[in-house]
Every structure is written in structure tokens, then in C-alpha cells.
């Protein structure tokens, strides 16, 4: 890859700090959107009587909508301008939030979530090259400081949503309205500002050079593959931590808030780390710690063990995303906004489309193997017998849920009676239906007692399966670190000896 632009073109604009503040506020809007939509999904599902598949489409838009936006608009940052993309982000955050708040059904909910996600992607597509342009001599550190506000904003948004619930303001629309607060603020901060050229334009590199130095550059393609893994190591497990630990009787949401809070603190201290160790060295150490943290999480069966494992995991993944972007920004100036957009898109797409679903399949397989057969059969036979009578006296949705649970239990029992084996997938789903529809009944409590430990074990095994991928990127980053040290040593040796007076 190419080196950074010459110092005479690396000029920090006078309003750099204000532009940086606006970028951070825009990223807070992005992370608040993730937190607020996630905190609202159960209430939305119940109010609009959505299927799990429909909930999956709405939640999935947060990932692939982000990716589509980055990949589509990222290559055109230079042509459209960072100001234009952030104006579009502002409109998308506002329009998407209002569309969801006033939705009448699945279609408008999905479209609102998709528009919000595209606004999130626009923020990332515009602000990464903006931060690199306004701090040309300190890109990696400032990109770490910028990305403090993704985990930091997630913590703020999550705590704000919790505070609304605790105060009795439980309407899910109020949680979504939280997105509008940082959106208004970043719109005000950016208003009337002068915008710098991107580094690529400032250095005089052509659009053709941008595409060639990105798509035909072996080192960039290697780093792109590494971004798929590092993004998966961070975002894949993060999406599963609350559910997995909660199934084991541990306050998973508190562990997730702790992880994100620690990540934010560590990213803010990135200068102390990056200035002492090369980015490739930082990434190597992070890979080792991330792998160890995931293995530790896979064995965590108590609250103390979970928080200890979460600490190692947070230390591992905290610098992945911004340092990968900083490494590319430093070594591929010609790649410009295109290179950064592809890196960000890959980091979000891989966990959303591959890693998170794969972890779910692994968790389902191991959870099924962990189910106690005799107890499971007893619970489902009881539901198949008792729930139809309960449904006859229940009203509305409760009756429908009880009938659905009874039908699911009957299907599993019929399969078991025929072959002597509980069907994988259908058994766990039947237990979940019994648990959710049975209310305070003894059968619901028994279903919970059977399913919880199995789900916890399956989820912990999914952490163990993904951990070895950390070793792959650790080898790559170790090789790059050694190569950097050798090149630095060679440059020192070539320098002429000082004259002797």
C-alpha cells in the first residue's frame, strides 16, 4: 500500500474540533438507534402481532441496511461531498424514526428500520474519511476516539431506555424518540461549517487510482478478509451475550453494558496504546485477548466468571474496528473513502449475514443435545393435554398462544412416539411456546427450567466455536508487525551517519 500523503498537504482545518464533535454526535445517533430499536422490539412484536420471521426482518435491517448504505455511497464521498452525505444521514435518521413511531404494521416498521439503518451507514461512510482528513497526522488515534461513541452511545441509549421503563414511561415510541436527540444536536453542530477535501483529493490522486489501489491491492484484500473476522469476533458474540447469559440466570444485559462501557473507555485511551505500539502490534494483542475472552465466556457459569471473561473479551475487541480503519487510512491514501467504506461494510456484513446466524445454528445444536429427554417429554405431554382446555377459557391472543403451544407440543410428542428421538429445533421451539404462553402455570416454570440451562450451554459453545478464528488474524497481524519492524530497521540502516565535527 502507499504511504501517507506528504506533510505539506496534511493541513488540519481550523474547525477540525467542531467537525469532530459533530461526527461523534452523529455516531451517538447511530448507536442510540441500535439500542432503542433493540429495546423496543418485544413491545413492537406484541402490539402488531408479528411473527418471529417479521421481527427478524426488522432487526436484520439494522445490519444489512447499514452495509448497503456504506457500500453504495462510500465510493462517491469525493464526488457528492461529506456535507451532502451527512445531510442525507440527518434526513434518514429523522424520517426513519418518525416512520417507525407512527407505523401501522410490519411494512412501515420494516421501512422505518431500513431508513434508519441507511442513515447509520451514511454516518460511517462520511465520518471515517472526515476524521482521517481533519487529523492527518493522528488518524488511528482519532478514529479510535471517534469510535468511542458506538459502544458509548449504546450504553447511553440503553440506560436511557431503562430509565424510561423504570419511571413508568414504557411506550416503545418514547424509546425510539431518543434517536432524535443526538440527531438534532449533530445537525446543529454541522450547520454552516466549511468542509475539507478528503485526503485522496487533497493529495491529487485520481478516481481511477482509488479503484486500482483498492480492488487490485493484495494487502488491502488481505485486510478486508481480516475485517470480516475481526468484525465477527466483536459484533457476533455481542449480539448473543445478553440472551446466552440470561438463560443461565446471569444478568446478561448488565454484562453487555459493562462490555460496551469498558470498550468506550479503552478507545478513549487509544493514544497511550497506539503511540507505543504499531497498529499491527495492537491488532495482534487484541486478537489473542479476543480469542481468550471468548473461550472464557464459553466456560462462564457464574456472575463473577461472566464479568471476568467479559473484561478479557472487551480488552480484545475494543480496538479492532477503529484500528483496522486507521491502518488502511495510513497505508492506502489512494484508496480514500472507497477503501474505508468497503472495510466498514465488510465489518458489518460478515457478522450480520454469516457469523451471527452460524452461532445461532451451533447454539441450537448443542442446546438440543443438552435437553433432558424424560423431563422434556413430560413437560410437552402435559402441555398437549392441559393447554387446549386452558385455551377454551382464555380470550383473544392468550387463547391463540395456548392453542399454538399445544399444537407444537403435540407435534413433538408424536414424532418422539414414532421414532424415540426428540426432533431438533422443533423441541426447543415447543418448550419456548409453552414457557411464553403458560404464564404463571407450573408447566411454564418447568419448561423454563428445562430450556434455560440448555440454551445457556448451547450459546456458550457457540462462543467456543468462533474463538479459533482469532488465531487466524493473530497470525496475519503478527506477520505484518514483524514486516513493519524489519522495514523500519532497514530505513534506519540506510540513513547516513552523522558528520563528525
Determine the pLDDT at residue 312: 97
- CB 438, CB 449: distance < 8 Å: no
Cα distance between residue 85 and residue 91, in whole Å: 10
- CB 200, CB 9: distance < 8 Å: no
Determine the pLDDT at residue 501: 39
Phi-psi region of 497 (alpha: psi -120 to 50; beta: other; left: phi over 0): beta
Cα distance between residue 221 and residue 342, in whole Å: 10
Class of domain 15-197: mainly alpha
Determine the pLDDT at residue 495: 58
- The residue to which cell 488491502 is assigned: 220
Sign of the alpha-carbon dihedral angle for 40, 46, 52, 58: negative
Cα distance between residue 35 and residue 257, in whole Å: 11
Sequence-separated (6 or more) residues with CB below 8 Å from residue 112:
96, 97, 98, 99, 100, 101, 103
- CB 487, CB 393: distance < 8 Å: no
pTM exceeds 0.85, yes or no = no
Determine the pLDDT at residue 486: 86
- Helix runs in 167-217, H state only: 172-177, 180-190, 199-203, 207-215
Three cell numbers written together for 214? 483498492
- CA triple 235-114-168, angle to 5 deg: 80
- Helix runs in 74-105, H state only: 77-80, 82-101
Cα pseudo-dihedral 91, 96, 99, 100, rounded to 10: -150
Nearest to 92, CA basis, from 58, 120, 65, 66: 120
DSSP assignment of 203-248: HT--HHHHHHHHHT-HHHHHHHHHHHHHHHHHHHHHHHHHHHHHHT
Q: Where are the domains of the chain?
A: 15-197, 208-483
For residue 333, give the DSSP letter.
Answer: G
Query: Tens digit of pLDDT per residue, the chain (501 long)?
Result: 444 444 444 578 889 999 999 999 999 999 999 888 877 876 887 688 676 567 767 877 777 788 888 888 888 888 889 999 999 999 999 999 999 999 988 999 999 999 999 999 999 999 999 998 999 888 888 998 999 999 998 888 878 887 887 888 888 899 999 999 999 999 999 999 999 988 788 878 888 888 888 889 999 999 999 999 999 999 888 877 877 887 788 877 788 889 989 999 988 887 767 667 788 999 999 999 999 999 999 999 999 999 999 999 999 999 999 999 989 988 888 888 889 889 988 998 888 788 888 888 898 899 999 999 999 999 999 999 999 988 888 877 788 889 989 999 999 999 999 999 999 988 988 998 898 887 778 998 999 899 889 989 998 999 999 999 999 999 999 999 999 888 876 665 665 544 443
Determine the pLDDT at residue 52: 57
Determine the pLDDT at residue 53: 62
Q: Convert 246-283 to b/e letters by CB count within 10 Å (16 or more is b).
A: bbbebebbebbbbbbbbbbebbeebeebbeeebbbbbb
3-state helix, strand, coil in the chain (%, to 5): 85, 0, 15
Nearest to 122, CA basis, from 86, 173, 160: 86
Cα distance between residue 486 and residue 492, in whole Å: 10
- CB 295, CB 233: distance < 8 Å: no
- CB 127, CB 136: distance < 8 Å: no
Amino acid at each position: 500500500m502507499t504511504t501517507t500523503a506528504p506533510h505539506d498537504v496534511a493541513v488540519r482545518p481550523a474547525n477540525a474540533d467542531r467537525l469532530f464533535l459533530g461526527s461523534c454526535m452523529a455516531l451517538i445517533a447511530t448507536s442510540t438507534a441500535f439500542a432503542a430499536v433493540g429495546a423496543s422490539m418485544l413491545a413492537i412484536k406484541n402490539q402488531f402481532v408479528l411473527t418471529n420471521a417479521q421481527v427478524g426482518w426488522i432487526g436484520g435491517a439494522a445490519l444489512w441496511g447499514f452495509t448497503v448504505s456504506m457500500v453504495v455511497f462510500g465510493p462517491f464521498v469525493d464526488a457528492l461531498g461529506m456535507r451532502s452525505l451527512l445531510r442525507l444521514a440527518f434526513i434518514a435518521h429523522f424520517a426513519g424514526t418518525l416512520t417507525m413511531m407512527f407505523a401501522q404494521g410490519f411494512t412501515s416498521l420494516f421501512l422505518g428500520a431500513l431508513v434508519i439503518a441507511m442513515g447509520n451507514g451514511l454516518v460511517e461512510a462520511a465520518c471515517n474519511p472526515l476524521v482521517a482528513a481533519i487529523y492527518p497526522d493522528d488518524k488511528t488515534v482519532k478514529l479510535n476516539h471517534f469510535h468511542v461513541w458506538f459502544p458509548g452511545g449504546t450504553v447511553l441509549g440503553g440506560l436511557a431506555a431503562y430509565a424510561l421503563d423504570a419511571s413508568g414511561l414504557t411506550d416503545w415510541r418514547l424509546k425510539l424518540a431518543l434517536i432524535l436527540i443526538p440527531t438534532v444536536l449533530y445537525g446543529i453542530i454541522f450547520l454552516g461549517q466549511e468542509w475539507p477535501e478528503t485526503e485522496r483529493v487533497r493529495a491529487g490522486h485520481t478516481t481511477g487510482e482509488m479503484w486500482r489501489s483498492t480492488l487490485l491491492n493484495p494487502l488491502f484484500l488481505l485486510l478486508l478478509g481480516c475485517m470480516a473476522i475481526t468484525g465477527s469476533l466483536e459484533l457476533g458474540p455481542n449480539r448473543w451475550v445478553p440472551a446466552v447469559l440470561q438463560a443461565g440466570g446471569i444478568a446478561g444485559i448488565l454484562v453487555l453494558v459493562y462490555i460496551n462501557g469498558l470498550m468506550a473507555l479503552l478507545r478513549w485511551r487509544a493514544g497511550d496504546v497506539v503511540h507505543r505500539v504499531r497498529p499491527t502490534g495492537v491488532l495482534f494483542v487484541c486478537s489473542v485477548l479476543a480469542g481468550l475472552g471468548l473461550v472464557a465466556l464459553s466456560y462462564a457459569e457464574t456472575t463473577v466468571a461472566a464479568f471476568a471473561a467479559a473484561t478479557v473479551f472487551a480488552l480484545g475487541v475494543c480496538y479492532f474496528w477503529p484500528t483496522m480503519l486507521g491502518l488502511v487510512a495510513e497505508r492506502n491514501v489512494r484508496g480514500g473513502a472507497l477503501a474505508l467504506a468497503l472495510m466498514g461494510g465488510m465489518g458489518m456484513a460478515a457478522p450480520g449475514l454469516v457469523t451471527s446466524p452460524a452461532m445461532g445454528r451451533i447454539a441450537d445444536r448443542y442446546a438440543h443435545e443438552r435437553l433432558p429427554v424424560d423431563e422434556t417429554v413430560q413437560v410437552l405431554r402435559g402441555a398437549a393435554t392441559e393447554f387446549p382446555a386452558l385455551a377454551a377459557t382464555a380470550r383473544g391472543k392468550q387463547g391463540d398462544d395456548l392453542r399454538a403451544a399445544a399444537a407444537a407440543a403435540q407435534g413433538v410428542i408424536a414424532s418422539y412416539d414414532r421414532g424415540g428421538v426428540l426432533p431438533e429445533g422443533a423441541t426447543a421451539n415447543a418448550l419456548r411456546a409453552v414457557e411464553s404462553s403458560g404464564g404463571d402455570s407450573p408447566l411454564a416454570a418447568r419448561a423454563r427450567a428445562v430450556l434455560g440451562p440448555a440454551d445457556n450451554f448451547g450459546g456458550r459453545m457457540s462462543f467456543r466455536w468462533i474463538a479459533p478464528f482469532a488465531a487466524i488474524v493473530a497470525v496475519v497481524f503478527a506477520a505484518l508487525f514483524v514486516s513493519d519492524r524489519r522495514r523500519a530497521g532497514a530505513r534506519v540502516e540506510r540513513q547516513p551517519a552523522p558528520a563528525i565535527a
